[in-house]
Amino acid sequence: MSGLAGVVLAAGLGTRLRPLTAVRPKPLCPLGSTTLLDAALARVAPHVVRSAVNAHHLADQVVAHVGRRAHVSVEERLLGTGGALARLRPWLDGAPVLLHNGDAHLGGSLDRLVEGWDGERCRLLVVPAGGPADFGEARYVGACLLPPAAVASLPDGPGGLYEPLWRPAWEAGRLELVEHDDVAVDCGTPADYLRANLLVSGGRSVVGTGAVVEGELVRSVVWPGGRVARGEVLVESVRVGADLTVDARVDRAARG
């Protein structure tokens, strides 16, 4: 659909990904040779005429990173998805929205989501739940299309999209669900963040630009500028700098 405006959500605190998110906001965490945010902007770009990013946690990093590539809406308080879109209404100027979570790694493209949309109903990208579901037996994976009327109806202030938009549409049989045919990872925990990186790398450890690895890596991620000393062995871990190590096996075990 022509005239789409892209919005990538990058304001969250990323509490489940701490301590990594004490260093960078979650969407700026490296993904392969890029970042989660850059990957989301690139995924949205073929379908939109302009893009915006919202920011709150470590917002100065987001502003500096995005530069002139997109409009950045800095929130003094967390507004949630609904509040973020309500705040962006003057910038949107009545345009329909292609929304993408800044922490969602989606393989492939958004072509199936965008193609054939009538611009009148909310359309969500989903996968079979295989567990807790959001709608019927489907799980939302962090990308959707929102018509102008839906965005215009959102209340100002903090809020989400489920209560004001998606639940009423679902109950009325007016919510469109499009199944994603590739991988979908919500990078909210260290284990899932590591999994996304290994999917991008084909299972190999990921070493960022300027990192020095003298030790051994086993399915691990070393951030740009990181260091793994001689004699160290990192297994399914994330290394930041010379001494911050997050064992991504811990939350995997906790989740069973």
pLDDT on residue 107: 95
Query: Tokens for 125?
Result: 């990208």
Per-residue pLDDT tens digits for 7-25: 999 999 999 999 999 999 9
Reported as a pLDDT band with limits 50, 70 and 90, residue 90 is: very high
Among the candidates 122, 157, 184, a domain finishes at: 184
Q: How many domains does the chain have?
A: 2
In this structure, the answer to whether residues 213 and 115 fall within a common structural domain is no
Residue 1 pLDDT greater than 90, yes or no: no
Residue 71 pLDDT greater than 90, yes or no: yes
pLDDT on residue 256: 34
User: Strand locations in the chain, DSSP E?
Assistant: 5-10, 30-31, 34-35, 50-55, 71-74, 97-101, 104-106, 123-128, 138-146, 176-179, 184-186, 206-207, 212-213, 216-218, 221-222, 227-228, 233-235, 237-240, 244-247
In this structure, the answer to whether residues 203 and 179 fall within a common structural domain is no
In this structure, the answer to whether residues 22 and 83 fall within a common structural domain is yes
Query: 142: domain range?
Result: 5-184
pLDDT on residue 205: 97
pLDDT on residue 131: 84
In this structure, the answer to whether residues 160 and 105 fall within a common structural domain is yes
Among the candidates 158, 184, 210, a domain finishes at: 184
In this structure, the answer to whether residues 89 and 19 fall within a common structural domain is yes
In this structure, the answer to whether residues 10 and 77 fall within a common structural domain is yes
Helix axes 59-66, 36-44, angle to 10 degrees: 50
Residue 138 pLDDT greater than 70, yes or no: yes
In this structure, the answer to whether residues 137 and 249 fall within a common structural domain is no
- Could you give the C-alpha distances from 177 to 124, 134, 170, 180, in angstroms and in order? 5, 11, 10, 9
Which CATH number fits the domain that encloses residue 40? 3.90.550.10
In this structure, the answer to whether residues 66 and 133 fall within a common structural domain is yes
In this structure, the answer to whether residues 88 and 166 fall within a common structural domain is yes
User: Model pTM?
Assistant: 0.93
